[in-house]
Amino acid sequence: MPASDALPLAMRLVWLIPVYGVSGMVLALPWASGWIKRNGPRPAAYLNLLMTLLAVLHGTAVIREVLALGPQHLDFGWFQAADLNLRIGFDLSLTNVAALELVTTMSLICQVFALGYLDKEWSLARFYALLGFFEGAMSGVVLSSNLFMSYFLLEMLTLSTYLLVGFWYAQPLVVTAARDAFLTKRVGDVLLLMGVVALAAWSGSLEFNDLYAWAAQAHTQGWITPLAGTLLGLGLIAGPMGKCAQFPMHLWLDEAMEGPNPASILRNSVVVTCGAIVLLKLMPVVAPLSPLATDVLLVVGAISAIGGALVALAQVDLKRAFSYGTTSSLGLVFIAIAMQLPGIALLFLFAHGLSRALQFMGVGSVIACTNCQDLSELGGIGTRMPATLLAFVVGSAGVTGLLPLGCFWCYGLVLNSLLPDAPALAAVFLLTNGLATANAVRVIRSLFFGPVMPKTRRTPEANWLMALPMVSLTVLVVLLPWIMQRIDPVPGIAAFPLPVAALVLLSGGAGVLAGVLLPQESFWSRSSTIWLRLVQDLLAYDFYTPELYRRIIVMPVAALARLILWIDRTLVKGLIDGIGRASLATAEGLKLTVSGQLQSYVLTLIVAILLLLSGLQWVWGAPG
């Protein structure tokens, strides 16, 4: 491995790639803050596009150098005082720089899409400034070689999520959604911070490579007890669980759909990917320290995968029908990570990220052209919006196990690994694939086929600023198997036996059949069949999880807060006020005994001193 000074310039300056996004935010501030008003907010968008394009080109150059020279590590001193030495490190492996290119490319495509989607938005400059902040944080997360830096950048992602979800802050529902998303993710962040602090104290370093070496010997050398290792492992996985919207911290992603659609594209594709990549980096620390944490990951992943897919089936809101699908897909990634299949998990993340982004571009196109996202009021737009239909079909096929797109190979590879030793987990993958395919077919039927609805009688195709990114990403998703082969060789169908491929195809085919046969009633979001309506309500309200949280968490905490308030105001304040009133009353009585005669004061003082001395003499003279 060559010394850092001998590396090519593109690799030595890789730290600039996260800075490009933050620079776009800074350049957009004059327009976002209203200092420049005469020429509108468009220049801020163009400046952000330029900085993101530079990040994409720089990332492409870094990939070429990594392919030529192999993985590299860059390290820069940041802060040193006494024995504290904080450094900024970047791991330039092929998977890291490929993830970086995914982040920057998706950011560029979404920024072009946003020009068409938000063409009449008065605060366009503020939106692009927030996107630049978003991009910079995500770029840093995938490159970071240090847990402290990763945590800091994840906090930036939490803040940017709050600001983007609350972009239309004049709407009360948007403000509530932004608050809930921020607080839910903060739960995972706080638990992760506890793990970071504990690791810093025990291991003496927060570099991932140092942590791996420490974790491998922690139990054998007696550096950490089993209980402490379990608590540490649970704390470390809590942060990625929150970022990836996994049960029980999954509700924020559904509420985050109140934000603008271009931000939802990034949130459902690359933001969750960044959270999973952090978990991948932490897994060599968690696995040897806490088998229980690994089991928790498996349980959480299975619940999120099946539960998210079931809930998505009953959603009539177009965005929420796919946001729960994101939770479901990331649950499968968590299972792959917990089963020590990092390469397959990474391929799954890349395939899912691109295809899910294409799906949400189709969602944005429909919303922009119809001003509606209620499936019960949409239909028959397939002939009017061919580019959007193509994006929906290709994106939906890409996130499910339909041949020959990217996730088919991922399903086949993971099933080939799980079937011999963990058939129950393999069944989770097959069931989730079938449910996700059924949901995609259901949505496509509602939107593009069937009778034309009142709100879709005059539906045009999306403008070229939205259509161009959709078509470009469609081509990219179609070429994804070849791209995956360049990242990590996937030999094709021979990588797993034909029976495994047949299982994947059968689960997808069953999903297609179920989506076609699923009854749909125009203008009514709920079925007229009683038993079906009960099941639909159960799924539509997320198994009543929000109500359950309200009863077992919110209401007890609120009751405890009211009790503490009553104790503070009635008991504590009452006691203090009573003492104060008694002091005032005593003072009022004592002031009547003040005569102003000095000899009386001296006599009182002498008598008090004599009484004190007599008491002390009696105490000392008493027998022991």
Q: Is the pLDDT of residue 484 over 80?
A: no
For residue 526, what pLDDT is reported?
Answer: 64
Q: Per-residue pLDDT tens for 288-318? A: 888 899 999 999 999 999 999 999 988 888 8
The string of pLDDT tens digits covering residues 236-245 is 999 899 888 8
Of 169-173, 431-435, 456-460, the poorest mean pLDDT is in 456-460
Helices within 144-250 (DSSP H only): 147-165, 172-203, 208-218, 226-243
What gap in Å lies between CA 322 and CA 242, rounded to an integer? 18
- Residue 491's pLDDT is 57
Q: Where are the domains of the chain?
A: 1-145, 290-540, 544-577
Determine the pLDDT at residue 620: 75
Classify each residue of 41-79 as buried b or exposed e, where b means 16 or more C-beta atoms within 10 Å of its C-beta: bebbbebbbebbebbbebbebbbebbeeeeebebeeeee
Q: Which residues, 6+ apart, have CB-to-CB distance to 428 below 8 Å?
A: 302, 305, 306, 332, 335
The pLDDT-based confidence of 337 (bands split at 50, 70, 90) is very high
* pLDDT tens string 369-395: 888 888 888 888 888 888 889 998 999
Percent of the chain at pLDDT > 90 equals 20
In one letter, which amino acid is 520? Q
Question: Within the chain, how many helices (H) and strands (E) appear?
Answer: 26, 2
**In angstroms, what is the C-alpha Rg of the chain?**
31
Q: Looking at the predicted structure, is the pLDDT value of residue 87 above 90?
A: no
**Does residue 248 have a cis peptide bond before it, meaning omega lies within 30 degrees of 0?**
yes
CA distance 34 to 125: 9
Residues 63-80: tens digit of each pLDDT = 888 888 888 888 877 777
Rounded Cα distance between 453 and 23, Å, is 45
Q: Is the pLDDT of residue 566 over 60?
A: yes
Has residue 545 got a pLDDT over 90?
Answer: no
pLDDT single digits (tens) 226-238? 888 899 999 999 9
- In Å, how far are 154, 174, 339, 432 from 294, measured between CA atoms? 22, 36, 8, 21
State yes or no: pLDDT of 623 exceeds 70: no
C-beta pairs of 542-546 under 8 Å, 24+ apart in sequence: 542/251, 542/254, 542/311, 542/324, 543/307, 543/311, 545/248, 545/251, 546/251
Torsion sign, CA atoms 134, 312, 386, 358: positive
Query: What confidence tier does 532 reach under pLDDT thresholds 50, 70, 90?
Result: confident
Q: Are 114 and 131 in contact (CB under 8 A)?
A: yes
pLDDT of amino acid 55:
92
Taking residues 566-578, report their average pLDDT. Answer: 86
Residue 1 has pLDDT above 50, yes or no: no
Band of the pLDDT at 486, cuts 50, 70, 90? low
Rounded mean pLDDT of 460-474?
A: 88
With pLDDT > 70 as the criterion, what percentage of the chain qualifies? Answer: 93
| pLDDT for position 52 | 92
Report yes or no: 17 and 131 within 8 Å, Cβ to Cβ: no
For residue 429, give the nearest of 309, 267, 249 by alpha carbon: 309
Q: Does residue 519 register a pLDDT over 80?
A: no
- Give residue 148's pLDDT band: very low, low, confident or very high (50, 70, 90): confident
Q: For 454, how many CA atoms within 13 A lie in the half-sphere containing its CB?
A: 5
| pLDDT surpasses 90 at 485 | no
Task: State residue 523's pLDDT score.
Answer: 47
Q: Alpha-carbon distance 451 to 455, whole Å? A: 12
Mean pLDDT of the chain: 85
Closest by CA to 304, choosing from 354, 240, 235, 360, is 240
State mean pLDDT over 328-341: 92
pLDDT at 555 over 80: yes
pLDDT band at 82 (very low <50, low <70, confident <90, very high): low
pLDDT tens, 17-75?
Answer: 899 988 988 888 888 887 877 667 788 889 999 999 999 999 999 988 888 888 888 88
